[in-house]
A and B are shown apart, each in its own frame.
Chain A
Amino acid sequence: MIIQRFKLLRKTCIGLGALASAIALPLTPVQAAGDLLVAPTRVVIDGQRGTEVILNNIGSETATYRISLELRRMTAEGNLEDVSEEQENEIEQAAKAMIRYAPRRVTLPPNQPQAIRLGVRAPEGLPDGEYRAHLLFRAIPAARSVTEQNIPEGGFSIALTPIYGVTIPVIIRQGNLEATAAIANGRLEKKTDGEALTFDLNRSGDRSIYGEIRVIKPGLSEPVMVARGIAVYPEVNQRKVVLPVPPEVAAQLKGNVSVEYYEPANAGGGLIAKTDMVLR
């Protein structure tokens, strides 16, 4: 029995895909649906004021996108895991219930941005705390045409279509919340593809912390490494951070370094935590 290779969906994407699509042998008219741009990459809502998120179709074909609210939980490893409906806890359910957003489905021609409006309606007597859900943007794959489904006699085809997208956190803070962080257990770990700077980020308080890690070498004015977008969410008190070290930086990291955790510039840019360590 023969399985014949039969590619049902082909994609190209502007610019980025030019080279790759040449390799992917586009024997049939190419079809790109689903490439997307989302901005900003994080939303924090204090109080009742809403905001908006921009979704842009950066593919070469008209595409339909679905916007949905999902729940994710941070693991001790720092990954974000899906939360199924049975696993939802009260805080997560409250977050989903109070976030309003529209539109939830939008069809966009190439290079057409669309603002997704976000608002919060907090129920009366909502306990103080941080509430969070993740807004998922993804394209609905185009239906395959009949001709593409024809298969040769006596064989079979396999078509695995990826549905790809982006999630960004939407965070609602109710009341006066505080949090602090500490860095511990810094070390260089050998991985299959090089070294990684690994440490634990400890969090205490009643909200998440978010910011960027800078690794400072005494005597150098510029950080030798910067990693942005590192959060510790309230469901964990400690997470591991694993930062792959580029080979050209590896030698520089050895010895005394200072690992510093800063708030993002648009949140004041203040120092959250700082630890000196010796790496070997």
Chain B
Amino acid sequence: MSKFIKAALASSVLAASVMGANAANAATASADARANILQQVTVTSDGSDLDFGTIVSGAAASTVSVSGGGRSCGAGIVCSGAFSAAGFDVTGTDGETVSVASDPSVTLNSGTNSMTANIVSSVSTMTLTGGVGSFNVGGLLNVGANQADGAYVGTFNVTVNYN
């Protein structure tokens, strides 16, 4: 991890400029040297998406929720298979405080059928202790009664906001 940060620092955020001052006379000359090291932020997906797993829906509407802590299935729904919350890693300056925001809800569409999911981030603000932090984004999926077949797709926004 630290190697990664160093590499990123070295490769991309070093904007340097050197300004030479003109010599006023032959005997003395002065020059200013300036290097501007910029603070950086990186946001990376940790490889897991928001995944509700395999669900067998029932005759009544119900819900399935997934968070970093686990999955909980509402009455009348059977859940199995692997599931995951979407995970993100943030790197920046040690001790930096950042806020995290996500869309409150998302509509998943399959043709004319739809479901909604509420999106919940595990944190609203976090401190990058040691320059790193991570958070995950889970959701509450609202499964309708006898939810129609289809490929339900949707996108949701997650942003890391700097003060």
Contact = CB atoms under 8 A, between A and B. Distances in A.
A256 B111 CA distance: 63
Interface residues of B, number: 76
Given A79-B101, A157-B152, A165 B160 contact: yes
A134 B162 CA distance: 9
Contacts of B49: 7, 9-11, 24, 159-162
Given A34-B45, A165-B160, A166-B41, A151 B151 contact: yes
14 contacts: A2-B56, A3-B52, A7-B49, A7-B51, A17-B46, A36-B43, A54-B40, A78-B125, A160-B108, A164-B43, A164-B88, A165-B43, A166-B159, A229-B163
Nearest to B8: A37
Contacts of B15: 54
Contacts of B56: 1-3
A37 B11 CA distance: 11
Given A151-B151, A161-B154, A162-B156, A12 B47 contact: yes
A76 interface: no
A127 to B, nearest CB: 24
Interface in B108-132: 108, 110, 115, 117, 124-127, 129
5 A-B pairs closest in CB distance: A39-B40, A231-B163, A21-B47, A20-B47, A39-B13
Contact of B40 (A2, A41, A242): A41
Contacts of A5: 51-54, 81-83
Contacts of B117: 160
Interface in B127-155: 127, 129, 137, 139, 141, 146-155
